[in-house]
Amino acid sequence: MQRRDFFKKLGSVTAVAAVMPVMSFAADAQPVSPNKMSYETAVNAITGGKTPTKSSKVSLKVPEIAENGAVVPVTVNVESPMTESDYVKSIHILNTKNGNSRCIDVNLTPANGKAMFSTRIKLGGTQDVVAVIELSNGEFLIASQNVKVTIGGCG
Amino acid sequence: MAERKSLIKIKPKRYKDGEVVKVSFMVMHPMDTGMGKDKKTKEIIPAKYINSVKFVYNGKEITNMTVWESLSVNPVFTTYMKINGKGKLTITYTDNTGEVHETSKKIKPKG
């Protein structure tokens, strides 16, 4: 093989290699989440336009750094007497950047005895986890915390 | 042996009437979001996630949850419950493909 030919071939190979990743990305377009909902619409749908207030009554326990985004433990604890006249109506757990911003809506009754809920959620990347709480008198409380995710866990 | 699909755990194990106990409901479920892909065939895995969970104790609904696809694989739902006499706690889940599963546990307060 001539030196000139060799360089020509080398050039074509690198050109193909440079184009390939772009093509593969185009073919692998991310499928859209079935219940796509942004964070603002989700909060609006829950509160009905009211602005939730920050309160020290709500404690949201989420790890600050999650190594695996597929399993992030979340615990929400609300100080409440849980009597017939004054109780926590519902606890909503939201995220700010996943395809669907709503994780879970829990409707509680006075028969629970204690306003606490915990579960494990998936996070696609570094974002905030938010808890919106509805009280029986119509008030809304909010608590949020940023979570750093090293490996995303969606899909 | 049949595959265990769900489990109810109550803490503490021995409880009295009127006590507030911790109830955990664990489910074996894939919770596919409809966005993931099979690593070998590169095909999109269809969505299959739990839609709703209901806690019913002696015919009275205690808690109901609307669940979205952002929950982890094999989810755990933990909450509290006030013991109110002998009876049965039934937990039902429904998923988006129409699957319904029911688990129940006897409630026997001592003392």
| Count of other CB atoms within 10 angstroms of residue A143 | 22
**Is B25 at the interface with chain A, CB within 8 A?**
no
**Is A105 at the interface with chain B, CB within 8 A?**
yes
- What pLDDT shows up at residue A26? 46
Cβ atoms of A123 and A149 closer than 8 Å: yes
Greater confidence (B105 vs A21) lies with B105
DSSP A60: E
Tell me what the mean pLDDT of segment B60-88 comes to.
Answer: 93
| Best residue in A109, A129, A132 for a mutation probing chain B (most B CBs within 10 Å) | A109
**Is B64 at the interface with chain A, CB within 8 A?**
yes
ipTM: 0.88
Q: Which domains does chain B have, with CATH numbers?
A: 6-107 (2.60.40.10)
Shortest Cα distance, chain A CAs vs residue B70, angstroms = 5
Asked if A122 lies within 8 A of B78 by C-beta distance, the reply is: no
Greater confidence (A12 vs B101) lies with B101
Contact list in B for residue A120 (CB cut-off 8 A) is 71-72, 75-76
- What pLDDT shows up at residue B40? 87
Half-sphere exposure of B84 (CA within 13 A, CB side): 14
Provide the whole-model pTM.
0.82
Shortest Cα distance, chain A CAs vs residue B79, angstroms = 5
Q: Among B35, B66, B84, select the one facing A155 at the smallest CB separation.
A: B35
Q: What's at B46, amino acid-wise?
A: P
In degrees and rounded to multiples of 5, residue A153 shows phi and psi of: -125, 25
* Choice among A129-138, B9-18, B34-43, B76-85 with the minimum mean pLDDT: B34-43
Q: How confident is the model at residue B1 (pLDDT cuts 50, 70, 90)?
A: very low
Q: Which residues of chain A have pLDDT under 50?
A: 21-22, 24-27
Asked if B71 lies within 8 A of A121 by C-beta distance, the reply is: yes
Cβ atoms of A58 and A78 closer than 8 Å: yes
pLDDT in tens, A63-84: 999 988 899 999 999 999 999 9
**Is A21 at the interface with chain B, CB within 8 A?**
no
Q: According to CATH, what is the number of the domain A48-151?
A: 2.60.40.2470
Greater confidence (B39 vs A22) lies with B39
| Rounded Cα distance, A138 and A86, in Å | 11
Shortest Cα distance, chain B CAs vs residue A112, angstroms = 4
